[in-house]
Structure 1
Amino acid sequence: MSENERTFVMIKPDGVQRGLIGEIVTRFEDRGLKLAGGKFMRIDEELAHEHYGEHEGKPFFEGLVDFITSGPVFAMVWEGQDATRQVRDMMGETDPADSAPGTIRGDFGLDLGRNVVHGSDHEDEGANEREIDLFFDEEELLDYERIDENWLYE
């Protein structure tokens, strides 16, 4: 079995308010990904600015900060082989209008600004580690073996 990778995922305030936490967690578990950490929390302005730092100065930046701090989020770390790409594929395109049915955004999103879920970018090698470190301390992430791991990977 090759090395597992960890990836950051966050159910945004619209997904929390619409009661989608359980559905989204179930989709990742059904895929065979392993939950290494989860946290129900409110993001303050400082953390929002750090999280969306690459967008600072862009016209939509303040809207992003206002939205992500508007209600609770559910932050998670998922683990599995090629986990970041798997999660991104399951989420769908950033704009729900471009997302295929069967993806999280394709099934639940209607608007670019309310696209239910965030996941680390698989094309940005440092994104996972940076986002995981922003939201979780190392002791909040657990290493364990799922009972079905031998059936998931060669």
Structure 2
Amino acid sequence: MKKAIHTLCPLLVFLGGIALSLYGCRPSGNIIPTAPFETIVYQALVANGIATEVDSISSAIAERRIDLYSGIYQAHGYTQAQMDSTLRYYGQHPEELDKILDHVVARIQEQMAKLNALDSVKTPSDSATLELISLPVLD
């Protein structure tokens, strides 16, 4: 009987270690799921781009970027603690973060292609526009 217990103890410790390591590798319930996190990252990058453009006009935007980012994840129903946990998780799992960022980059490139297509729509030529400079001055 004692021999059976001594044989089972190392096996149970080993199996317990595997169970703990597998459990530890799974995201906790405090992690934002992949799809909404991807959308949050996309929206944060777009907001950052807009803020960077406006930043040259107003330095107050730089001070409010954290509010801007928190507004994005809060709009999706997540808290600062959940965002922090999610960022920590993906910091420890860079291969998963790479997949998310690949999707975000593809989404941004798709939007850029649409914007470039809109920019390529021809505007009236210069000859069709009125030249106000050549109008006579009335006294």
Q: TM-score, normalised by structure 1?
A: 0.22
Q: Which has the higher contact order (CA 8 A, sep 6+)?
A: 1
- Pick the structure with greater CA Rg: 2
